Amino acid sequence: MKHAGKYNRLYIHVPFCEAKCHYCAFYSIPDANDRLKDEYLKRLEMDFIAEARNCNELKSIYIGGGTPTVLGAERLKSLFYLIKTNFNISRNPEISIECNPETVDNERASIISGFANRVSMGAQSFNPRLREYLGRRGSVENIYSAFAMLMEKGIKNIGIDLIYAIPGQKYREWAEDLRMAAELGVKHISAYSLSIEEGSLLAVEKNAVKVSEELSADMWALTGDLLEDSGYKRYEISNYALPGFECMHNLEIWYGDTYLGCGPAASSYDGIKRWTHSPNINRWLDWKGTEQDIIEAEKRAGEIFIMGLRTVNGWDRNTFMERTGFDFMQWEDKFAPLKASGHLVYNNSSVSLPENGILLWDEISENFI
């Protein structure tokens, strides 16, 4: 396998948030104290020192969470310094950081612009009623002011996350959110259907019931149509970008590239094995709880195959062979009925899902794992 052993990309999970959103099922610690944040950075540094030699020149870095900007200005500076001094970074890397708008101020925007060139903001909705339902902090004004501050500091590549299929959300309210996002001038929009996760406040306290699949599918179709009118193209089930502003870090990982993950709950993949740090910060700080997940090459090829099918372009046969060592035509007997029902398109050199297939990605992918 081509990449075995060396990581091309770096992911850092910052597990802190100001408070827990009602729908959240990610690993994040609300209201962590300064001592814990300092211990987190120290442990991260040890990981960087231990793992840097296992990395090629990094082509992309993605700092996600949680809410990385909750680290505050000084710790953000330290984090960037630790990355710069421990890793070799390629000449034109894509460096992304996630933030919540209400945690961006002039100082943080300036520090971010000194290191990152792409910011992904968790906006989720421009509608105050729906924001409250989701338990989002901050206000719609924070979205506009964070965007302006980041732009002013020279970050031109800004994206936002939005959520649809929220119980009680009207079709026209979703259209309005999309319109406001496009008018803001962001380069990238991730639009996720709300999933009501077991254990989240929405499930436990609000007894939330998921909206019908039909309405959710209609909202997904509307997303593609409305954003296309504003120049955005869907390039993955939930991701839309102006041409040239696709998130390369995520795209390459969907296409099976290697990545090092640092921080609690972060996964790594070196081309042969995948492993995940403990999702519990105390176990992670004690160096306990790493799970190795060594998968047979063919099974891993199946996983990489279905991840690539999430993208609108799907797979080129040569690229798939180069990345996995397998030929996707080995699954031709599974392709044929999907092609007959109009849910998959393939020929001798490529395979992809048409729009009605992408929407059924969950079910279709079961054929290949």
Q: Is position 93 an interface residue for ligand SF4 (rule: CB under 6 A)?
A: no
Choosing from 12, 13, 28, 78, the residue that interacts with ligand SF4 (CB under 6 A) is 28
Q: CB of 143 within 8 A of CB of 101?
A: yes
Instruction: Report the nearest approach of ligand SF4 to the CB of residue 15 (Å).
Output: 8
Beta-bridge mates of residue 352: 345
The contact mask relative to ligand SF4 for 40-69 (x = CB under 6 A, - = no) is -------------------------xxx--
Choosing from 17, 71, 121, 178, the residue that interacts with ligand SF4 (CB under 6 A) is 17
Rg (CA), the chain: 21
Pick the closest to residue 276 from 294, 260, 288, 290 (CA basis): 290
Candidates 14-22, 48-56, 71-79, 172-180; binding stretch for ligand SF4 (CB under 6 A): 14-22
Q: Which of residues 230-259 bind ligand SF4 (CB under 6 A)?
A: none
Name residue, tokens 């406001």.
180
CA–CA distance, 340 with 104 (Å, rounded to integer):
50
Q: Which of residues 288-327 bind ligand SF4 (CB under 6 A)?
A: none
Beta strands in the chain (DSSP E): 7-14, 16-17, 29-30, 55-65, 89-99, 118-124, 158-164, 188-193, 233-236, 239-241, 259-262, 267-269, 273-276, 291-294, 315-316, 345-346, 350-352
Q: How many CB atoms lie under 10 A from the CB of residue 49? A: 12
Choosing from 10, 12, 14, 21, the residue that interacts with ligand SF4 (CB under 6 A) is 21
Choosing from 14, 24, 262, 364, the residue that interacts with ligand SF4 (CB under 6 A) is 24
Which CA distances in Å does 28 have to 20, 21, 65, 268, 280? 8, 10, 7, 19, 9
Candidates 17-25, 167-175, 221-229, 275-283; binding stretch for ligand SF4 (CB under 6 A): 17-25
Q: Is position 223 an interface residue for ligand SF4 (rule: CB under 6 A)?
A: no
Q: Is position 26 an interface residue for ligand SF4 (rule: CB under 6 A)?
A: yes
Beta-bridge mates of residue 285: none
Q: Which of residues 94-133 bind ligand SF4 (CB under 6 A)?
A: 100, 122
Q: CB of 207 within 8 A of CB of 180?
A: no
Instruction: Report the nearest approach of ligand SF4 to the CB of residue 198 (Å).
Output: 15
Instruction: Report the nearest approach of ligand SF4 to the CB of residue 30 (Å).
Output: 7
223, two tokens: 């997303």
Pick between residue 64 and residue 271 the one whose CB is nearest to ligand SF4.
64
By the criterion CB under 6 A, which residues form the site for ligand SF4? 17, 20-21, 24, 26, 28, 65-67, 100, 122
